[in-house]
């Protein structure tokens, strides 16, 4: 193996272990040895972007070596947005999807960029795309999914009607119709008809539709049975939160086995000085460059950062990460004994890795709606600044309001600056709104290393 290949292999291994500075050094060396090597150029651009350095020019240079690589173009656009030039990133992506309307990842990122930076109609790329390629079913469904995510049901209805006229009835459109009928909750008879029509279709999203409809209908047993049937498959982490609700509604002791042990939730002080908290606050505020929250996320009335904030290069974030991981280790050490049936305590407990980290900044009236983290194992909320008064509390176990369930939270945690709350990723969680001020935090997910990428 030559030195360039060895450096690249080392860099990829170090990045996988989240040793980002060392990975950067390895990729920098590879690029210095072979400045025309497209893989070295790509890896250097990517690690610099992930660490929070300016990377748009590096992605542009890498793209010159691999001009057909759409991933590099997408990441260049994201880097431009991170460097406070979202209009340039938007223009780059807009040109690309105009030339290739069926590039679905490009369409998705373009819509997100337009949404979060308020750059015109977020979904105009999809509309132009289906006009150019009216027979492309995947493009129609991607447009529907993007609009349905915002719960804009009239617009979603129009898209499905136009899609059906263009491509005819397909399984994908039938599933989309079923999803919308269940989520609109305007005509339960139509939702029931479509759920009956789709009986026998094996699809995780459809199973979640069945569970949510059963919960709305008061069919706790049906919701439980559908959720339990998913536990042996790849969508188990989607099913556990709903199974918890069904068990609670049925008065099943299994609900306490799943969520009731007080050791599953912990509050820990984070070892940072007052000066470090001041530095951390200013650093995080500087990263909130978006004008609106991500449409697919739980934030309302605030913004969320991009990339993994705890993998960035700033020394204060490295110190924060170390302090938070110490709290995670303390929490994991006191968890109940292993139980192979349980989604949290049944998994290996070391080594542990981040599965994403981000900052949320809420202003007056801001909140997080109830949600879970199916890609996580342990989830968290680390409080950096808080509004005055009692607002902004963390509610654990409150179901989504649209399900219409009369279930109180299992626990309401009053946030304290300098503390991190750790809890199972399958546990419904939300924040209560507050009237004024700022609520700035870091959230992150932890997974056992063996789960990474799975």
pLDDT tens profile 345-374: 999 998 999 999 999 988 876 767 899 999
Is 439's pLDDT higher than 90? Answer: no
Is 454's pLDDT higher than 80? Answer: no
Phi, psi at residue 317, to the nearest 5°?
Answer: -75, -35
Predicted local confidence at residue 453, as pLDDT:
39
Q: Under a CB-based contact definition with an 8 Å cutoff, are residues 429 and 370 in contact?
A: yes
Rounded Cα distance, 227 and 305, in Å: 33
Express each pLDDT in 201-236 by its tens digit. Answer: 999 999 999 999 999 999 999 999 999 999 999 999
Express each pLDDT in 84-107 by its tens digit. Answer: 999 999 999 999 999 999 999 999
Q: Which two tokens stand for residue 121?
A: 């109609």
Rounded Cα distance, 199 and 145, in Å: 22
Concatenating the DSSP letter of every residue in 118-161 gives: T-S-TTHHHHHHHHH-TT-HHHHHHHHHHHHTTT-HHHHHHHHH
Mean pLDDT of 308-323: 97
Q: What is the CATH code for 262-451?
A: 2.60.120.620
Express each pLDDT in 262-309 by its tens digit. Answer: 999 999 999 999 999 999 999 999 999 887 776 666 667 688 888 899
Query: pLDDT confidence of 451, banded at 50, 70, 90?
Result: very low
Lowest-confidence segment of 235-244, 263-272, 430-439 by average pLDDT: 430-439
Predicted local confidence at residue 297, as pLDDT:
60
Q: Give the predicted TM-score (pTM) of the model.
A: 0.93
Over the chain, what is the mean pLDDT?
94
Query: pLDDT confidence of 178, banded at 50, 70, 90?
Result: very high
Which among 205, 263, 214 has a CA at the least distance from the CA of 424? 263
Express each pLDDT in 117-147 by its tens digit. Answer: 999 999 999 999 999 999 999 999 999 999 9
Identify the residue with better confidence: 452 or 327: 327
Mean pLDDT of 181-187: 87
Above pLDDT 70, what percent of the chain? 96
CA angle 137, 371, 221 (to 5 degrees): 85
Which among 373, 371, 378 has a CA at the least distance from the CA of 395? 371
């Amino acid at each position: 193996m030559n030195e360039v290949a060895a450096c690249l292999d080392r860099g990829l291994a170090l990045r996988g272990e989240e040793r980002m500075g060392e990975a950067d050094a390895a990729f920098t060396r590879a690029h210095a040895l072979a400045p025309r090597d497209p893989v070295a150029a790509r890896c250097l651009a990517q690690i610099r972007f992930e660490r929070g350095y300016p990377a748009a020019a590096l992605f542009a240079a890498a793209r010159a070596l691999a001009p057909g690589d759409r991933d590099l173009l997408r990441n260049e656009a994201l880097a431009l947005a991170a460097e406070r030039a979202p209009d340039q990133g938007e223009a780059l992506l807009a040109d690309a999807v105009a030339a290739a309307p069926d590039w679905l990842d490009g369409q998705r990122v373009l819509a997100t960029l337009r949404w979060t930076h308020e750059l015109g109609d977020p979904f105009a790329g999809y509309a132009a795309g289906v006009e150019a390629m009216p027979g492309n079913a995947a493009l129609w469904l991607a447009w529907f999914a993007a609009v349905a995510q915002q719960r804009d049901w009239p617009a979603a209805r129009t898209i499905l009607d136009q899609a059906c006229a263009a491509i005819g009835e397909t399984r994908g459109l039938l599933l989309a119709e079923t999803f919308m009928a269940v989520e609109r909750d305007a005509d339960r008879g139509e939702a029931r008809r479509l759920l009956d029509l789709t009986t026998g279709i094996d699809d995780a999203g459809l199973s979640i539709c069945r569970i949510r409809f059963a919960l709305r209908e008061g069919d706790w047993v049906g919701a439980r049975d559908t959720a339990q049937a998913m536990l042996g498959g790849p969508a188990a982490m989607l099913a556990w939160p709903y199974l918890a609700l069904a068990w609670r509604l049925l008065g099943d002791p299994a609900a306490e086995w799943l969520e009731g042990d007080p050791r599953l939730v912990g509050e820990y002080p984070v070892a940072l000085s007052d000066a470090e908290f001041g530095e951390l606050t200013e650093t995080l505020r500087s990263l909130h460059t978006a004008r609106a929250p991500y449409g697919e996320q739980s934030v309302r009335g605030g913004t969320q950062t991009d990339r993994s904030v705890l993998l960035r290069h700033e020394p204060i974030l490295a110190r924060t990460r170390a302090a938070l991981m110490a709290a995670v280790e303390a929490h994991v050490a006191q968890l109940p004994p292993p139980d192979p049936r349980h989604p949290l305590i049944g998994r290996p407990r070391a080594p542990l890795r981040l599965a994403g980290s981000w900052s949320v900044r809420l202003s007056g009236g801001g909140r997080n709606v109830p949600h879970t983290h199916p890609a996580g194992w342990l989830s968290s909320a680390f409080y950096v600044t808080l509004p005055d008064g009692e607002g902004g509390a963390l509610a654990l176990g409150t179901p989504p309001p649209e399900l219409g369930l009369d279930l109180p939270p299992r626990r309401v945690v009053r946030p304290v600056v300098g503390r991190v709350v750790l809890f199972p990723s399958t546990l419904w969680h939300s924040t209560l709104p507050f009237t004024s001020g700022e609520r700035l935090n870091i959230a992150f997910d932890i997974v056992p290393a063996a789960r990474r990428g799975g």
